[in-house]
Structure 1
């Protein structure tokens, strides 16, 4: 029996925050040491932060990262620690892991497979390291360090790496590492959160440990690191196909270390028993880097109990729970890292603004539940501004200090939405204002009528009369944000973004759009769940029954006169259909004709002519409104199908607008009236 005590750390890092990132790494190293771990895997690019973007191409970034590594090396005496950082080598930047052994640098492993899809752009900054190639890196101190596709023999234990994307591809480095007798595979990752993604990670960690006959350590980032991507942590340690330890996800702590004890002899025997295992006995031995190391003697009595998953991980509505926690953690980090003093929401009494307000309240509930009131206040307070620690048990007083809402009425606003906004704000504990902007609205209309020499009419000036109402709400809500030093949250959702059903400089105003990646139909489902059940916090669920005032309404912009009974779906199409068309057209890249045929199967109860009209409407609105998506506030990513043009979904601002394709669809419908 040869026991090793392993550790995986999740860190809440910030790009280019040299002192902060180093202090959190140091905290992880010391925590691992305190828990008697010998091997510690830190996340990918943990020294610089993963989201440095084009700063990776700055010599200053690589130089400071290296200098930080040198300062941290003495802290690794008696330990084996994997640090992530960019390395400039042979006039190319590589995404590397530096393996430190007992206070000295043993070598640099460079990432073989770069993430270049979805919201990842690693090939823009890094070069992929070729398979089974090794070179010598000359450090700024003049030392010669091996770099490349390496395997380490440390005191008789062989350690290899799969760096994030390396484990997601078919030709995983683990295949060669196993052939060379690897005992441990470390996976430093920066794997952003997406709905259900943790199950995929768990599969490749478990399968890697089983198929390669190794113990596997997976370490990830946590929190909102750079503004858009949210990381859920998800540290895992597996051995021989069994998950031994798994850390909590969505932690509000800046550092969490998960440990486990493994038996190396068991995994070695597992390789020996596997008929398909073919050891590489002679070739590529130049890739092996050896170092003496005195491994501590560990008994089973020293093994800590494995951490247990949070109770919410076992709840039936996993997507609802994940969204609640991801958004709450994203808001928490965005607020403190942007040095904002709370949030401002233009609370219309509708679904979108109500959902965002609830997410702010959930941020308080989740964070206080984990951190406690004192630490919560300490983390969010800034020089010249400090939260009042007093809380009444359900933290409404904390919410009041962090969330300001305002209902801004015009002549077309109704009593139902006004009351709903008031009730939601009251239930959450928000500081709520009721602002009448009808005089400002009418002043703009009168000014333009005077300039044009005619009266504006709904029949001829519909869009202009709607948009001016949305826009007159922007200056006041921005003014409140400036006065409070707070962050204005934009209320646009993904369904509206797809078709441009939003007023630029109106309801799109804000510095952050936390639900711009969420479909309207699913958001309404989440609000219904929040009304009756809600997420699990501690041992109790957190429901907001007052949301019924919002959930019973049909979504409406409420910009036309009341007698026109305006609703969003009358202006556009049913939201479930809109969302299905968007996925087929944008995610799956199908043309109008194919989208129509797919929708015909998915929505057989909709008449073909009507379905064709709505399909036509989607493509026309999508094409003409890319300029709006370009101007949306930064949004959180909750899946890999976001419409954010700065990350996932690039589209030309000017295009042919599917003119020929839509003409073909209309012709097809006219020739097939019996569809």
Structure 2
């Protein structure tokens, strides 16, 4: 006779130092786990405080509020009769540890500190597969993580977990943070349950939901049988015993109470996204979290008609697609509330978008900033067509008057007349950053958002999006190979700052088919140019040739 039990793990969208919101998500995850019949619930790393609390981790107030929140969770009526694994910082003998608190029916059974701390890159630490636990008879292992997203990282994560339980047997519960918790990283969720190397449950890797609970019914006898066929005698004899804590709880029902209609959850195929999908989904989910928590009115993007700003705009389009789905299909209350506030509707409004473009029109603003003698009709048209396809509120303007006014002022002050480098002078003056931030500050007011929503008379400004890829960042090269603090690198956030030009082109071609946007091919085939120099019969600026010549 098997010993069946249902186990739950989860991904939570926590916000650093938001004790009230984080506690709400934790309790909701426990409530959902119990509703699915789970006997154990495992949560993400440092879920009470949020993972990216930085120096707050060392402040006494953080620890005080952590204990206050944990006490309320433990005492909550929905948090009884289930074994809880909760992540929190704990101070012991004046040393602060990243801990797991194991709780059952208002009693803290165990506080387990994390002993392998981050020692490389962004929160990487030395890993071990847990074989020593298996040799001492541990059948269920929990891994509460704060793992951030990188391209193809899920493959590595799955193979680590699958490899560990294939070698030693056992049931592995993986929980992870999901979303942007205040830093410039995205935690990509994907909670999993693995039995003897087989994936039996997997959560979403990219989601706007605040709480996602993953459950599976497992048979403890499967672990015991699997291990019986391993030659582990000598290893087990030499394995030191871990401390045991006896608890009056049974994970599986007595034999006479077993529901014979319930069977162990079967193995599933792991869901992996294409790299191009990851490029669209990771930044898109991160941007939505950042936008809604910054309480600003939307995004502003200088749209040049080139590949980089095109890629940034398409990522925003993916974001509005995800929001549209969360609002209209999933009926997610948090997504609905955030969307209404951002688009300038009262919280009681019954307005709902009919397509992703309805959302973009109200919160995504693009501008083509050209000059009559520098800008080509092709780039101007590509920018306008892309904005119309996505649904952005688009402005087409020339900055000639501003440019000439500043040149005149400069000449009056210095008696020096600047010239373009192609005419024997200096590099061109850069005004796009100034215009971008001016428009981002005032466009929400111009569009009279405050008249639509009396609950929010100050709609905020727009977050300026950058469009400098990682190749430019590594070379400190933005447009014409000049330090670019005053152009596409100047932004509040840069969604493509970690993506190479080659990957961006592949992403745009993927989006061409996946989003049914055939105009995107024209961006990839167009020659790269920042159009900072006048177009003449003898000269058209080509940044690609300039880069190759320099290298």
Q: Could you say which TM-score interval applies, normalised by the shorter chain? A: 0.7 to 0.9
| Partner-residue secondary structure (3-state), 2:143 | strand
- What are the within-5 Å matches in structure 2 for residues 226-625 of structure 1? 226-278=182-234, 280=236, 284-285=240-241, 287-297=243-253, 298-299=258-259, 301-302=261-262, 313=271, 318-372=274-328, 375=332, 376-382=335-341, 385-386=344-345, 393-411=354-372, 412-459=374-421, 465-480=427-442, 483=445, 485-502=461-478, 503-531=484-512, 533-534=513-514, 542-563=515-536, 564-573=539-548, 614=551
Deviation at 1:524, TM superposition (A): 1.9
What's 1:92 paired with? Answer: 95
Within 2, Cα distance between the matches of 1:437 and 1:209? 62
CA contact under 8 A between 1:240 and 1:270: conserved in structure 2?
yes
Kindly indicate whether the alpha-carbon contact (under 8 Å) linking 1:341 and 1:486 is maintained by their aligned counterparts in 2. yes
Distance 1:546 1:101, change over 3 A: same
Taking structure 1 as reference, are residues 413 and 519 closer, same or farther at Cα in structure 2, changes over 3 Å only?
A: same
How far, CA to CA, are the matches of 1:462 and 1:54 in structure 2? 52
Distance 2:378 2:394 in 1: 16
Query: Which has the higher mean CA deviation after the structures are superposed, 214-223 or 16-25?
Result: 214-223
Gaps of 5+ in 2: 446-459, 479-483
Partner of 1:136: none
Question: Shift of the alpha carbon at 1:393?
Answer: 4.1
CA positional deviation for 1:472: 4.6
Structure 1 length-normalised TM: 0.72
Aligned to 1:23: 24
Match of 2:41 in 1: 40
Shift, 1:390, TM fit: 5.0
C-alpha distance in 2 between matches for 1:278 and 1:468: 72
Q: Output the CA distance in 2 between the equivalents of 1:495 and 1:467.
A: 23
Aligned to 1:204: 160
Give me the whole-angstrom Cα distance separating, in 2, the residues matched to 1:51 and 1:78: 31
Single out whichever of 100-109 and 291-300 deviates more from structure 2: 291-300
Query: Are the counterparts in 2 of residues 346 and 477 from structure 1 also a CA contact under 8 Å?
Result: no
Post-superposition Cα deviations, 1:301-350, rounded to whole Å, max 9, x if no partner, equal: 3458669779xx467xx100111111211111111111122111111111
Instruction: Report the Cα distance in structure 1 between the residues aligned to 2:433 and 2:406, rounded to whole angstroms.
Output: 10
* Alignment-derived partner of residue 621 in structure 1: none
The 8 Å contact of residues 88 and 94 in structure 1, kept in 2 or not, is answered as yes
Pair 230,561 (structure 1): closer, same or farther in 2 beyond 3 Å: same
Change in Cα spacing, 1:197 to 1:512, as seen in structure 2 (3 Å) is same
Gaps in structure 1 of 5+ consecutive residues: 122-164, 535-541, 574-609, 615-675
Cα deviation digits, residues 497-550 of structure 1 (max 9, x gap): 11222321332232111111111222122112222x12xxxxxxx231122342
Question: How do 1:2-81 residues align onto structure 2 when only pairs under 5 Å count?
Answer: 2-74=3-75, 75-81=78-84
- Residue in structure 2 matched with residue 214 of structure 1 by the alignment: 170
User: Would you say 1:112 and 2:115 are equivalent positions?
Assistant: yes
How does the TM-score come out when normalised to structure 2? 0.87
Q: Give the CA deviation at 1:569.
A: 1.9
Alignment of 1:61-210 (within 5 A): 61-74=62-75, 75-120=78-123, 165=125, 169=127, 171-172=128-129, 174-210=130-166
Give the 3 Å change call, closer, same or farther, for CA 450–186 of structure 1 in structure 2.
same
Alpha-carbon offset, residue 384 of structure 1: 10
Give yes or no for contact 1:258–1:307 (8 Å, CA) kept in 2. no
C-alpha distance in 2, partners of 1:112/1:322? 32
Task: State the alpha-carbon separation in 1 of the partners of residues 226 and 352 from structure 2.
Answer: 55
Q: How many matched pairs?
A: 517
C-alpha root-mean-square deviation of aligned residues, in Å? 2.6
